[in-house]
Structure formats: C-alpha cells, structure tokens
Chains A and B, each alone.
Chain A
Amino acid sequence: MKKPWYDYLWLVSALYLILGFFNILFAWLGMICFITPLVISATKGTKSYCNKYCGRGQLFLMLGKRFRLSRNRPMPRWMTSKWFRYGFLTFFMIMFAQMIFTTVLVFKDTRGLSETVKLLWIFKVPWKWAYRIRTVPEWISQFAFGFYSVMLTSTILGLIIMILFKPRSWCVYCPMGTMTHLLCQARLTKYEQN
C-alpha cells in the first residue's frame, strides 16, 4: 500500500533542525508547528495534527522502532499522570513567556542580542555561526534564537525519553499535544451542551 504524503513529514522536521545550524532565521518556520495544531483543534475539534501530520512524532517513531534505538519499556506511572502533563505544560509556557520577554527587551533596546541557543533551559551554547543575516531588526533574530532553543530542547528531551521508554513517549506530555487535547475537550463540552 502506498504511503500517504503526510507520512513523510519527518523529513520536514529533520530539515528544520538542520537548517537552524546554518541560518537561525529559519527557526521562524517552527511557528507552523505551533499554529497549525491549535488551528486544527480549535476549528475542527480533532487531534489530526498529532495523529497524522506531526513530523516530530514520526521521527521519534522511526528512530525508536525502525532503528531500534528505543528500549521499549513502559513509562513510570507518574509520568503519564495528568498532573505531570499539566505541570510540564505550565513549566513550558513559563519558559516560553520568558523567551518572549527577552525578545521584547531586545526590541526595546534594553538588552543586546544574545547569539546563543539555550539548551535544556540552562546551558547557553554559542551559536554565532548561524547568525548570518544581520540586516533584519535584532528582535527578529533574538526570537529566532529563543524559538530554536525551545525546538532543540524539546527534541533533545524527546530523544532521551524515546531511548528510555517507548518511541513516541514524548507525545504523552508534549505541550502542544496537551494544549490541543484541552481545546478538543472544550469543544466537546460545547458540543454536548448544544
């Protein structure tokens, strides 16, 4: 049976991560992965982004299952609990807000551009080589560095979790997945009321 086109979206995810090594401004493309699932869930009330189009999920599945990099063990119970899921979403959103705040400070000229990528919210890695187009306003580049940090950090976390547990373990507490899940629940409540 021929694979549908969306089964190749892992290529897009991999390409995105590679592009960030060459030119940080490509990080802006990641907004597509943030906006699309939310729009789908808010308008259609489904998680078809997670179910079909998520390239990251496909990448983890391929690495874990086909390349046998995953130990394929069940996750600890506490990691599958709602508390952990919502807790991680909250933490992720706080970190995201902090990134936006830094961008605003650069926009206001209160602080200079930091040509670094922050991995796992702690480690500042110099990323100067990917800062190629210097003609754009600095806040645009600052957001790109910050956003790429978010994307790379979550990929690293997802990879660790993929190796330790099941290939798509990241999906259990993926902040985007939790948000779309909440949107679908809200839509269902509305649907049941009508």
Chain B
Amino acid sequence: MAKRLARNNRAICVACGSCVKVCPRKAISIYRGIYACVDESKCIGCGLCVKECPASIIAIDKLEVGA
C-alpha cells in the first residue's frame, strides 16, 4: 500500500508558514525559523500545502508502507 506524504525542499524553504496555516491535520511545523517540517505520522497527503506554498517547493510523495 502506498501512503501519500507531503515533502518539501528544505534547502530553499523560507519558513514563511503558509503551509502551517493551511494544513488541516496540524502536521506541519516550522523548525527554528529555518524550514517547514512535515510530521509523517499526521500527514494525509491531501496536497493543500502544495497548492499554498508560494515557492512551490512542496510535492506529494508516494511512500510504500507495509507489505
């Protein structure tokens, strides 16, 4: 089974917090004002943050879980 997860490019993330505001699961936090961090256990891969990110650096990844 594949789990959909949001992943951001931390190297260019400006930590503006747009994704944090829009996340319905409160799965995103800003790490020390440097980049956004996605909590994989909470993320449902809805993609709202992907649409919101002003730098368009969040993508939805498919992660294989279980056998």
Interface residues of A (CB under 8 A from B): 41, 45-48, 50-52, 57, 61, 72, 74-75, 80-82, 85, 165-172, 177-178, 180-181, 183-185, 187-188, 191
Residues of A within 8 A of B15 (CB): 47, 50-51, 181, 184
Q: Which of A45, A52, A61, A169 contacts B32 (CB 8 A)?
A: A45
Cβ proximity bits B29-65 to A, threshold 8 Å, 1 near / 0 not: 0101110000000000000000111111100000000
Task: Give chain B interface residues in 2-31, CB to chain A under 8 Å.
Answer: 12, 14-18, 20-21, 30
Measured between alpha carbons, how far is A85 from B57 in the docked complex, in Å?
A: 15
How many chain-B residues does the 8 Å CB contact rule pick out? 19
**Between A and B, how many residue pairs show CB distances below 8 Å?**
77
Interface residues of B (CB under 8 A from A): 12, 14-18, 20-21, 30, 32-34, 51-57
Known contacts A51-B16, A51-B20, A80-B12; A181/B34 CB under 8 A: yes
Residues of A within 8 A of B52 (CB): 166, 168
Residues of B within 8 A of A81 (CB): 12
Assuming A41-B33, A184-B15, what are 12 further A-B pairs, CB within 8 angstroms?
Answer: A45-B33, A47-B15, A47-B30, A51-B21, A80-B12, A81-B12, A165-B54, A171-B16, A171-B18, A172-B14, A177-B16, A188-B34
Mostly, the A contact residues are helix
Measured between alpha carbons, how far is A180 from B32 in the docked complex, in Å?
A: 11
Residues of A within 8 A of B56 (CB): 74-75, 80, 166
Give A170 Cβ to nearest chain B Cβ, in Å.
8
Residues of A within 8 A of B30 (CB): 46-47, 51
Residues of B within 8 A of A167 (CB): 54
Return the chain A residue nearest B36 by Cβ: A51
Residues of B within 8 A of A75 (CB): 54-56
Measured between alpha carbons, how far is A155 from B12 in the docked complex, in Å?
A: 23
Q: Which of B17, B51, B55, B57 contacts A51 (CB 8 A)?
A: B17
